[in-house]
Amino acid sequence: MNWTPENYYFTKLNRNELPELIHFYLVTTQEHYKLNDYSEKEYRTDYDSLIGEDAVFFDRSIYYVLRSKIDHGIQASIRITYWDKETCLPIQKLFDIETDSLLIPDIDNFWHIGRFVISGKIVGNRINILKKMLFDAFYGPFSLGSGLIIAECDKKVVNTLRKLEIESYQLGDPIIYLYSETLPIYIKSEWLKTFIQKNRFSQFSDGNDNDIQKFIDLSKLMLSYSKNE
């Protein structure tokens, strides 16, 4: 890896680390929105819901996480999932979007992105961390081409993506989800070209090409299923 932030290191999540990730995600959200009245009951409801989603998606996903070199705790995360076009996505439940509305013609590979969060405790290198996390998550969908990345995304993150020259299409009206204004969006893989090209030199690692193989195998598996139906 060409760039490593001081006091942190990038790695990937194992299945047995999912509880740690979900706890980090919820606590970081609570701290960001200063939810002093966030009850144990609310936490448990959110935790059960999110870990249930991740248990379903894990085998078709790669989770990129940033950990502290001091205590090895998670400080940032993002998940990219190869969608089988059958498993119900969070965006469908939250925004009542039908599967057919997501299956855009001439698209071969469908993705879902989530669990994107960076701890507020990181005071330096935030923009570089953000770019690295996005590069890792988007590199596979861009490289495989003919792809659609689907997400339920915080409005501020959508604006940040636009500043990074990543355009998105809004599928419906926003809602308040996990205490933030959340939009249903998709990003075509071709819209990632400028971002990937601008950041390839500084953010690319050998691991990025290795990760693509997992999704190539999944793509072939999904294609064989569809032919046998």
- pLDDT value at residue 1: 38
Range of the domain at 13: 8-204
Phi, psi of 146 (to 5 degrees): 45, 50
Task: Give the per-residue pLDDT at 3.
Answer: 47
Query: Is residue 212 included in any domain, yes or no?
Result: no
- Flag whether pLDDT at 205 surpasses 80: yes
In a domain? residue 120: yes
Give the global pTM: 0.93
Residue 217 lies in a domain: no
Give yes or no for a contact between 190 and 117, defined as CB atoms under 8 angstroms apart: no
100: CATH:
3.40.630.30
**Considering the domain boundaries, does residue 113 fall inside one?**
yes
Position 151 in a domain: yes
Residue at 134 is within a domain: yes
Q: List, in sequence order, every residue forming a beta bridge with 12; answer none if it has no partner.
A: 64
Q: Chain centroid to CA 206: how far? A: 20
Which helix (DSSP H) or strand (DSSP E) does residue 185 occupy?
A: strand 180-188
In a domain? residue 31: yes
- The whole-number pLDDT of residue 226 equals 59
Average pLDDT over all residues of the chain: 92
Q: Per-residue pLDDT tens for 14-70? A: 999 999 999 999 999 888 877 778 889 999 999 999 999 999 999 999 999 999 999
Residue 1 belongs to some domain of the structure: no
Look at the alpha carbons of 174, 102, 100, 217 in this order and tell me if their dihedral is positive or negative. Answer: negative
Query: What residues does 95 pair with on adjacent strands?
Result: none
Q: How many domains does the chain have?
A: 1
Does 5 score more than 70 pLDDT? no
